A and B are shown apart, each in its own frame.
Chain A
């Protein structure tokens, strides 16, 4: 019924925004066209790849304190989705999960609290998570 996309993509860049509402809009950056669904991965190596249905906790082994962490989530179901670290910070929030075929990335410098990532979503929501470090 649901296929979980495990895609590796290259991301472009866009300028910062200054607005506070949906009406405030940044200039569009040139969208990066992907030659295929197997385009380049985020920088680093995959340290976790999980999928499932409903809430879960994923343990991560962070290679060094200087590593950059990239969380990639795909999900399908009737709920919002959050990737929350041990200190309760949502490292990524997706407003609604019926987004089959859409990949959401969040890249950041991790802290010790990011050694576990809690996948918070509805019990029936299917998800896939890939984590890169590097």
Chain B
């Protein structure tokens, strides 16, 4: 029973990692940029949800779309102000820019909302589902269900819509995509909006489960581990990787030595890089000369 209980909390945690990883993968898939600030964007999303719901008193059901819309606009702003100029620059520079942006967001959040942990009450808070000896909080179920819905929607988007296919084309070859008439720059903006919106969803789902403060963005790094374990650039891989990392973390916390829960994600990541660097759902082929 204990194992099952751990498994469920692991899955719920893993879904959060998976959601952030989805944001990474999305941006990577469409723009070939790696966005290190994804965790911090999620943090901002959670804080904006907090502002709308707890400070301004907007009801939860209206607060959610408002948060998502705000973050989508924010995503476009990031792209227009900072990353648009970096098209064509080496990937390293882009990576460093997003790291810098992450630091700025964290400092800004600390300045605006303070460093004390905050919490958001959702309609589901406090509810518990009991099945036999298992107890699962409604929020955890919400996290799992929300992730599943979002994944299905994204999969359909990339598979069937014109925009989704244009995004894939852009990521595979920017110049060729431009030649066949895809507005590459606009695609980039849309991708950033989408990814920030996903981060906002992750933030809203996380906020009721754990307290929010400006440093929760650091779980973005664990989400990174998840994305790589799953195979960077693969949407289902991001979720599967997130689940693996989340479950491993729960079990390491109970059965491993002190402190192993904190490092389990990174150990897993390094092992993966040694054993199968392309991840579970491989999307890259090694270059041969």
Bound together: no
